[in-house]
Structure 1
Amino acid sequence: MMVRVGIRGFVDALQRSGLAPVDTLRDALAAFRDASGKPLSDAEQLANYLIDLELVTAWQCEKLLTGKHKGFQLGDYLLLGHLGTGGMSTVYLARQRDSGLLRAIKVLPRKRVGEKSYLERFRHEAEATRRLDHPSIVKAFELGHDHETYYYVMEFCSGQDVSELVKERGPLDFKLAARIAAQTARALAYAHGSGLIHRDIKPANLLVDSQANVKLLDLGLAMSSALDAKTQQLFRERVIGTADYLSPEQGVDSQRVDQRTDLYSLGCTLYFMLTGQPPFPTGSLRERIEQHLRVEPRDVRAMRPDCPHELIAICRRLMMKRPGERYQDARQAYEGLSRWLASRGFGVDQAMQLELATPTYKRHVAAEVSAASDSDGSDSNVFKVVDIDELEQKSAGASSHLRLADLDKPVVIESVDPAEESEWEPIPPAPLPTAPMAPIEAEDPLSPHAPLSSTSVGAANAAPQTWPGSGAFPKVALGAGNSESVLARRRAKQAFNPLTDWRVWLLSVLGFLLLAGIVVGVIVAAT
């Protein structure tokens, strides 16, 4: 932990920071002295007093208490707090000086500015976000730079992301989970209709406010539905995304995917909301990608026996291994979810209240220090003290600041499958909806546009410990190769190796004993 300064150092840093007008600050110090009845001596007590007056925030005070007085301003914005740090950027809460409006500012570390690929990706994300205008997608306002610091400004959305919500509450209420998934599907229908594929749908990228409304975040990996040269140049890696929510085809080649990859990830996110864990919570990064390719997840009912069969069927359909067996566009997924909600007497946009955690920028310094100590600095509910001048250090160790430890990291890895001739081609993007999506009558939650090829919901629900339709997954052409990775084929070749398989050894031993018995019998008979 950084060494804290005394009362003189704190007041000096506060005066030099320009966070509060000199006259206002002088009056506040005098009022604090009069209220305490003694000379100024306790820097933390004064800091909390100023926080209560809303002259400064807890995050600002944490920096001031270490003697720092710079790093609070970025262009026309005053930084109020740290919202999160990822692999490529850090997000701050800020207030625009002229309008007083709260904004979220995403900042690229200075260390990355000299790397053309990082700067281009940062600009790509800002441009992709600015293209979209939908109530369930976070808005971007401007892209700018202050000296060597590049940033872009977004709307600030108060709330908790789904990963935090589940971490705090456990598996969500069925209607709440379906509502979040439905609103996300509606946002995806708009994004896909606008020609963008998100490619990183996951709980940490879905923000839920106190009215249970969703905001889709982070278009850092978004690509045009037409595989253009610019996208190929920006994202040269074969596989990108988050391993726990990665579709089978995206785990083979992230450049040759279509809108259905987002639907698979949405299904994994719905599974997470229903069960409290990803579909494949164990194994290395490669092993988890392999499981998405070949293994069926554990049945939701093994963890939530009361989960409605119809909702499980929707989740299952979203997560079908073959893209052609999923919903074919986000509109279909929205319709299925809204039908199920309507059958329960609940609407996708029906008024709802959620009690969320207290925003960190409203907390006191002492509480923040305690929370940081308890969480070991890994909980995104706690502001870390991050200086813009030190962002490159934070980026180097970004995994410690992610929202759900190692299980929710975006990954950039080499392909798990060699390049082969593809038999699978992306489908064109869904047309942009031209009218609001009205609630649909309560019918079968599965859309009639592309019926499942498996058995009925009732029959499919027979096996209690595995998902319906589990079993050997046949070879299917996906992406730039087929669905079996190098690792899977190696395992298949080794599955019956006569030098290592126990069945061969057992048969050999039995054969030897039988032969020995025959020989002994012949010898005994001869004598």
Structure 2
Amino acid sequence: MLTTELGACEWFVWDLRRSNLIEREQLDQVIGEFLGKNPGAEPPALAEYLKNHNVLTEFQAERLLQGKTQGFVLGPFTLMDALGSGSMGTVYKAQSKTDNKYYAVKVLPRRSMWNVRIARRKVRLFEQCQHRAVVPFVDVGTAGGMHYLAWPLVEGETLDKIVPNEGKLTPELTVQYALQTAEGLALCHQQSLFHGLLKPSNLMVSPEGQIRILDFGIGCLLAETEGESLVDTMSTANSVNSGLDCSSPESIMDPTNLTPIGDQYSLGCVMYYCLTGQYPFPDGTAVEKMMAHQHKQPTPIKTLAPDTPDELIAVVERLMHKSPASRYSGCAEFMEALRPFAPTGAVRNQPTLSIPRLKAPPTPAQRAASVIPAAREAAPRLTPRPVSPLPPRAPSAYSAAPGLRAAPAA
């Protein structure tokens, strides 16, 4: 196929090539098939065609139409969708070229500098932490000037969504979730691994009612290791500040002072949140919250949740003691203190989760088969890119496609 035959889609096709999302041979065949039937088509129509045939996702198509070609592929991971963002970066749903499975990939800000050698050592430590509550930290790397972290993608709903929607949890359910979390923490603490940023948004409840601890491993990167911090000071401070509602007093004083004993304080704050429906210090500025965690006592649990047993309140208060030395000696001790309050048999008042199951992604061969009816030998080929500049991108040419944004004019 001659370059001139690409018509208005010329710039979009070249951006597709630069993105590395589609293999060159497959891309040539797809474009030839589409433009053979739609010779005057605009880029949004081509993007819609590729989405309908599972060659591109909505996220990928939208970014390409905006003229963004970089950052789709990070090491073995192809970014499929944006899941959310926080102080440490944006989280994406990604598919691994290695095993064709889905992962949650967090892309860190470009300013974040770290020691990848030490970070990879942390990844290997998680191989010893096989527990249903722990979503293991499986990969870390640098690609295209960006750093990324990867975990298996899991299904569920986090506690910071469940509590506002369902109301405060019963003492029994709170204890069940706390015990599941503590079991996972205990195993990791034995390997000198800690969470460091435990909070309701990092505790996901699966459709089966199992707690899954998210973002495990970031705390280890924020803390100083072998005399150096694995990420820059600003990223460390921002991450701790974003979790102020459950940050331990010692980590507030020193953001790199993230320890297993600090995980106890954070878990106590999570239990307080589940029992009362609010954080220990819900109001005030960041500075006021910092001071409160160090010097003030929260509203008594009995005031906000009168049905909570006094003995359980005592456990939560000890977990949230300002002095690390006054907390429990380890997970085993406070798990033993929690067990008398654990539910027996079926869990009562468990929130109903309506979460779609992840479908296995199609293989490249399946994608090609759904798009390309003709034999490969008969498919037209794209000629090399001409030396002359590409035609300008006119916004009006793409405005006819609903739901897709056009790239701004140069």
What TM-score does the superposition give when structure 2 sets the normalisation length?
0.67
State the one-letter code of the partner of 1:292: H
How many residue pairs get matched?
342
Q: Is it true that 1:200 corresponds to 2:201 in the alignment? A: no
Provide the secondary structure at the position in 1 that maps to 2:282.
coil
- The answer to whether 1:185 aligns with 2:182 is yes
Query: Structure 1 residues 147 and 161, CA, compared in 2 at 3 Å: closer, same or farther?
Result: same
CA contact (8 A) 1:124 1:220 kept: no
Q: Provide the secondary structure at the position in 2 that maps to 1:251.
A: helix
After superposition, what is the alpha-carbon deviation per residue over 1:142-182, rounded to whole angstroms, capped at 9, x for unaligned? 33333433334332223333223334444334443322211
The alignment partner of 1:171 has SS state of coil
Deviation, structure 1 residue 305: 3.3
Q: Distance in 1 between matches of 2:45 and 2:168?
A: 38
Q: How many Å apart are 1:99 and its aligned residue?
A: 2.5
Corresponding residue of 2:125? 131
Counterpart position of 1:36: none
Q: 1:193-215 deviations in whole A, cap 9, x for unaligned?
A: 11133322111222332222222
Counterparts of 1:66 and 1:193, CA distance in 2? 48
Aligned equivalents of 2:62 and 2:359: distance in 1? 11
Three-state SS of the structure 2 residue aligned to 1:283 is coil
Matched residue type, 2:125: R
Most deviating of 277-286 and 80-89: 80-89
Deviation at residue 234 of structure 1 after TM alignment: 6.9
Of residues 198, 212, 220 in structure 2, which corresponds to 1:222? Answer: 220
Q: Is the 8 A contact 1:9 1:65 kept in 2?
A: no
Query: Alignment partner of 1:339: what SS?
Result: helix
Q: In structure 1, what is the equivalent of residue 278 of structure 2?
A: 277
Residue of structure 1 in register with 2:377 after alignment? none
Of 119, 134, 139, the residue aligned with 2:114 is 119
Pair 1:339-2:335 in alignment: no
Query: Judging changes above 3 Å, is the alpha-carbon distance between structure 1 residues 46 and 185 closer, same or farther for their aligned structure 2 residues?
Result: same
- Secondary structure of 1:266 counterpart: helix
| Corresponding residue SS for 1:94 | strand
Q: Secondary structure at 1:109's aligned position in 2?
A: coil
- What CA deviation, in whole Å up to 9, does each residue of 1:477-508 have, x standing for no partner? xxxxxxxxxxxxxxxxxxxxxxxxxxxxxxxx
Q: Partner residue of 1:487?
A: none
Q: Residues 312-323 of structure 1 correspond to what in structure 2 (within 5 A)?
A: 312-323=313-324
2:188 and 2:352 mapped to 1: Cα distance?
A: 27
8 Å CA contact 1:10–1:64 kept in 2: the answer is: no
Q: 1:129–1:138: 8 Å Cα contact kept in structure 2?
A: no
Amino acid aligned to 2:104: A
Q: Is 1:157 the counterpart of 2:151 in the alignment?
A: no
Query: 2:163·2:277 contact (CA, 8 Å) conserved in 1?
Result: yes
Amino acid corresponding to residue 188 of structure 1 in structure 2: L
Aligned counterpart, 2:5? none
- The 1:275/1:340 distance shift into structure 2, 3 A limit, reads same
Q: 1:326 to 1:66 in 2, by over 3 A?
A: same
Partner in structure 1 of residue 79 of structure 2: 79
CA contact under 8 A between 1:13 and 1:69: conserved in structure 2?
A: no
**CA deviation profile, 1:101-149 (whole Å, cap 9, x unmatched):** 112223333344xxxxx323x7655543441223222223333333433
Larger-gyration structure (1/2): 1
Change beyond 3 A, Cα 1:15–1:263: closer
Residue aligning to 1:446: none
What is the rounded CA distance, in whole Å, between the counterparts of 2:147 and 2:232 in structure 1? 20
Deviations 1:14-40 (A, max 9, x none): 86454483488469969x99xxxxx97
Cα offset for 1:73?
1.9
Q: 3-state SS of the aligned residue for 2:130? A: coil
Unmatched runs of 5 consecutive residues or more in structure 2 = 1-7, 361-404, 406-410
Of residues 113, 116, 139, the one that matches 1:142 is: 139
Report the equivalent of 1:466.
none
Q: How does 1:410-425 map to 2 (within 5 A)?
A: none
Counterpart Cα distance in 2 of 1:101 and 1:255: 33
1:171 aligns with 2:168: yes
Q: 1:10, 1:305 → 2: CA distance?
A: 65
TM-score by length of 1: 0.54
